[in-house]
């Protein structure tokens, strides 16, 4: 663990010794702010109408009407943004020849892969932590429930972790950073919209496709339904891609 | 080898005992020299208490004091090479493996790096892989020649020279190197063989004798226009003989 952290520290350092880290945070907060204020604006208009109609007023729910849509919308941006964070992790090392340093060190492949993944998770965590500032305003001016908020953030974190596990794998596969960003974008999108295909399927096939798609699992968490099935889905998804990454790096180390 | 471990059974123990400088320098361009060396010390599992001292030690012995705080992307090629050697030494390895350490450097930098490597002998066993043959004569005690994955020769330079052929000789560059000139040299007492090699003549005699003065005197006396004369026992020839000679067998 300590050794993996050495790698993670180096990766985090490199994010912030180049503009990458700052640009990613800036753009993320910009987009988050846009989605969040749009949701607040819409909620504001809606509550004005609701003030004249007790039926609408009952339906007002700040969790589902502000935070939920923001979480859902930001995932679209995650699709584009997160592969850009993982693309250089292995591809750049291979291109610059620095992977030889890692492979001839006494570190195990698991520590190297784990350290790099850890660094990307820390980036994701910091992004989410920064975005949580906007939630402070909701607590100041409203009274949202804390549980769905937390499970929504957990969903966002797990979804991001899944995106980045795919990204890490393709970064290990190629030395071209462009390839390492485009393939995960497409593949993640595919996993994301897989459930569209489920609408025309039926029976077992529909069940399988629905299970494989991110959407169902993610939406459950955003709605505040904490189901271990969804957690297991995301963890096994990440584990699968990390395992593949481990195998790729392991085989390269022997060459 | 001092590191008595098996690469397959205890790869980590072996990796801790060696320092390796790959041909392509494994440097992170966006790190400062000292931050980079600190990182290498960390992944090579130098104990935390010793890390600072190790970085200071290699910075001093590789002559990096002036650039320690600068980004690696901003330092010269020669300094980058030194950083490469420094990172290989950071865990104070018993065996130091240097792959082409002077490639891409200017002559002054090459001299510096060779000086640095020579200074390290005694402290470490150094394995130097190179295609620059004069480097071998200047730096190495023992030589191993490998061609296409096969071990061709192994020993000190003198041993190799003696084992390859019983002939010694010179390459002579004259104003004109034709049949007439060749015949003149062939007439010298002790000369076994004269052959044209491009614009030069190759004059050979049995190892142990020294006819270099005779060859030179003949060339001057007959006004053949002596331009250059060099010993056949140069390391390039030695290498070519080892590689081609064994390949024919």
Comparing C-alpha atoms, which of B86, B94, B74 is closest to residue B30?
B74
| Contact status, residue A79 vs residue A189, Cβ threshold 8 Å | yes
Selected residue of A106, A107, A108 to mutate for chain B interface (largest B Cβ count, 10 A): A106
Cα-Cα-Cα-Cα dihedral sign, residues A69, A75, A80, A81: positive
Candidates A10, A14, A106; nearest CB to B45 = A106
- Decide if A98 and B43 are in contact by the 8 Å CB cutoff: no
What's the gap in Å between the CA of B36 and the closest CA on chain A?
9
Say what the pLDDT of residue B2 is: 45
* Rounded distance between C-alpha atoms, residue A46 and residue A60, angstroms: 8
Select from A101, A102, A106 the Cβ nearest to the Cβ of B12. A106
Contact B29 A96 (CB under 8 A): yes
Q: Is it the case that residue A21 has pLDDT exceeding 80?
A: yes
Residues from chain B that touch A106, judged by Cβ atoms under 8 A, are 12, 15-16, 43-45
Q: How far apart are CA B179 and CA B194, in angstroms?
A: 10
Q: Are B43 and A3 in contact (CB < 8 Å)? A: yes
Does A101 sit within 8 Å of B87, measured CB to CB?
Answer: yes
CA distance B21 to chain A (A): 8
For residue range A100-154, list pLDDT tens digits in order.
899 888 889 999 999 999 999 999 999 999 999 988 888 888 888 888 899 999 9
CA A79 to chain centre: 8
Give CA separation, A144 vs A47, A60, A74, A224, in Å.
Answer: 15, 11, 20, 12
pLDDT at residue B4 is higher than 70: no
Query: Which residues 159-188 on chain B approach chain A with CB closer than 8 angstroms?
Result: none
% of chain A beyond a pLDDT of 70: 100
pLDDT at A248: 94
- Rounded Cα distance between B39 and B25, Å, is 15
pLDDT score of A255 more than 70: no
Interior angle at CA A149, CA A147 and CA A155, nearest 5? 105
Residues near A107 by beta carbon (within 8 Å), at least 6 away in sequence = A3, A6, A7, B43
φ, ψ of residue B53 in degrees (nearest 5): -65, -40
Put simply, the answer to whether A3 touches B29 (Cβ < 8 Å) is no
Q: Are A116 and A8 in contact (CB under 8 A)?
A: yes
At residue A93 the predicted structure's pLDDT band, cuts being 50, 70 and 90, is: very high
Question: From CA A38, how far away is CA A69, in angstroms rounded?
Answer: 10
- Closest CA of chain B from A123, distance in Å: 19
Q: Parallel, antiparallel, or unpaired: how do β-strands B18-21 and B95-99 relate? A: parallel
Distance from CA of B65 to the nearest CA of A (A): 22
Q: Do A102 and B15 touch (CB under 8 A)?
A: no
Provide the shortest C-alpha distance from residue A16 to chain B (in Å).
Answer: 10
A28 band by pLDDT with thresholds 50, 70 and 90: very high
Q: What is the pLDDT of residues A201-247, one digit of tens each?
A: 788 888 888 888 888 899 889 888 888 999 999 999 999 999 999 99
Q: What residues of A are in contact with residue B98 (Cβ under 8 Å)? A: none
Interchain pair B27, A96: CB under 8 A: yes
Q: Which of A22, A44, A41, A21 is nearest to A33 (CA)?
A: A41
Chain centre distance of CA B245: 21
Angle, helix A88-96 to helix A146-173, in steps of 10 degrees = 20
Average pLDDT over residues B5-30: 83
Kindly tell me the burial class for residue B88, based on how many C-beta atoms sit within 10 Å of its own C-beta (0-12, 13-18, 19 or more): buried
Kindly tell me if the per-residue pLDDT of B249 is higher than 60.
Answer: no
Residue B238 pLDDT exceeds 90:
no
Q: Is A19 on the interface with B (CB under 8 A)?
A: no
Cβ contacts of B144 within 8 Å, gap of 6 or more: B151, B153, B154
The per-residue pLDDT for A188 is 93
Q: What's chain A's average pLDDT?
A: 90
What confidence score (pLDDT) does residue A30 get?
Answer: 96
Whether residues A106 and B39 touch (CB distance < 8 A) is answered with no
pLDDT for the residue B165: 66
pLDDT (tens digit per residue) in A70-80: 999 999 999 99
B44 in Cβ contact with B90 (< 8 Å): yes
Alpha helices in A145-201 (DSSP H): 146-173, 177-198
CB contact under 8 A, A6 and B43: yes
- Report yes or no on whether pTM surpasses 0.80: yes
Name A71's Cβ contacts closer than 8 Å, sequence gap at least 6: A152, A153, A155, A156, A222
Phi, psi for B203 (deg, rounded to 5)? -110, 125
Q: Do A104 and B20 touch (CB under 8 A)?
A: yes
Q: What is the DSSP letter of A67?
A: I
Which of B36, B42, B85, B93 best probes binding to A when mutated, by most A CB atoms within 10 angstroms?
Answer: B42
Mean pLDDT value across residues A11-25? 90
Cα dihedral: B103, B106, B111, B113 (round 10): -50
Q: Is the Cβ pair A7, B43 closer than 8 Å?
A: yes
ipTM exceeds 0.90? no
CB pairs under 8 A between A and B: 55
Please tell me the predicted confidence (pLDDT) of residue B246.
54
Distance between CA atoms of residues B127 and B141, nearest Å: 10
Interfacial B residues in 63-122 facing A (CB < 8 Å): 87
* Nearest neighbour of A97 by CB, restricted to B12, B22, B43: B22
Distances (CA, A) of A13 to A100, A170, A183: 20, 22, 26
Average pLDDT over residues A183-197: 90
Pick the range with the lowest mean pLDDT from A115-129, B63-77, B127-141.
B127-141
CB-based contact (8 Å) between A97 and chain B? yes
Q: Are B172 and B201 in contact (CB under 8 A)?
A: yes
Q: Which residues of B touch A99 (CB under 8 A)?
A: 26
Q: Looking at B73-224, which runs of residues are DSSP E strands?
A: 95-99, 125-129, 143-147, 150-155, 167-174, 191-197, 200-206
Contact: A105, B15; criterion CB under 8 Å: yes
Query: Cβ–Cβ of A3/B31 closer than 8 Å?
Result: no
């Amino acid at each position: 663990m300590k050794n993996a952290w050495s790698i993670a520290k180096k990766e985090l350092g490199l994010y912030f010794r180049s503009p990458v880290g700052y640009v990613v945070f800036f753009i993320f907060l910009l987009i988050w702010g846009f989605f969040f204020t749009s949701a607040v604006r819409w909620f504001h208009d809606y509550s004005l109408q609701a003030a004249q109609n007790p039926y609408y007023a009952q339906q007002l729910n700040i969790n589902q009407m502000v935070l939920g849509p923001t979480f859902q919308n930001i995932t679209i941006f995650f699709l584009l943004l997160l592969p850009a964070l993982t693309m250089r992790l292995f591809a750049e090392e291979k291109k610059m020849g620095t992977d030889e340093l890692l492979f001839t060190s006494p570190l195990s492949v698991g520590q190297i892969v784990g350290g790099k993944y850890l660094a990307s998770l820390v980036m994701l965590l910091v992004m989410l932590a920064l975005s949580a500032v906007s939630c402070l305003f909701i607590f100041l001016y409203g009274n949202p429930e804390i549980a769905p908020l937390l499970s929504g953030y957990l969903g966002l974190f797990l979804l991001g972790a899944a995106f980045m596990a795919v990204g890490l794998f393709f970064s290990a596969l190629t030395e071209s950073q462009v390839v390492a960003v485009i393939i995960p974008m497409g593949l993640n999108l595919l996993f994301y919209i897989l459930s569209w295909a489920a609408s025309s399927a039926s029976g077992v096939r529909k069940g399988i496709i629905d299970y494989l798609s991110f959407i169902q699992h993610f939406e459950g968490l955003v709605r505040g339904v904490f189901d271990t099935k969804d957690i297991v889905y995301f963890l096994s998804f990440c584990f699968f891609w990390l395992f593949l990454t481990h195998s790729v790096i392991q085989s390269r180390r022997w060459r | 080898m001092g590191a008595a471990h098996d690469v397959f059974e205890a790869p980590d123990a072996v990796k801790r005992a060696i320092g390796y400088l790959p041909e392509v320098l494994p440097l992170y361009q966006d790190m400062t020299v000292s931050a980079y060396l600190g990182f290498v010390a960390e992944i090579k599992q130098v104990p935390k208490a010793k890390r600072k001292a190790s970085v200071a030690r290699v910075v001093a012995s590789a002559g990096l004091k002036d650039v320690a705080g600068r980004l690696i992307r901003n330092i010269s090629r020669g300094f980058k090479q030194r950083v490469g050697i420094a990172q290989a030494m950071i865990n104070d390895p018993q065996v130091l493996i240097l792959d082409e350490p002077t490639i891409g450097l200017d002559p002054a930098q090459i001299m510096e790096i060779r000086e640095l490597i020579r200074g390290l002998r005694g402290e470490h066993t150094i394995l130097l892989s190179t295609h620059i043959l004069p480097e071998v004569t200047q730096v190495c005690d023992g030589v191993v020649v490998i061609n296409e994955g096969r071990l061709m020769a192994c020993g000190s330079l003198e041993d190799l020279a003696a084992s390859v052929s019983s002939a010694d000789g010179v390459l002579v560059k004259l104003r004109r190197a034709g049949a007439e000139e060749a015949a003149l040299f062939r007439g010298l007492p002790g000369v076994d063989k004269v052959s044209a090699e491009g614009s030069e003549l190759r004059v050979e005699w049995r190892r142990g004798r020294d006819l270099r003065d005779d060859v030179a005197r003949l060339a001057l006396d007959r006004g053949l226009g002596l331009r250059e004369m060099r010993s056949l026992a140069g390391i390039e020839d030695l290498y070519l003989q080892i590689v081609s000679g064994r390949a024919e067998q």
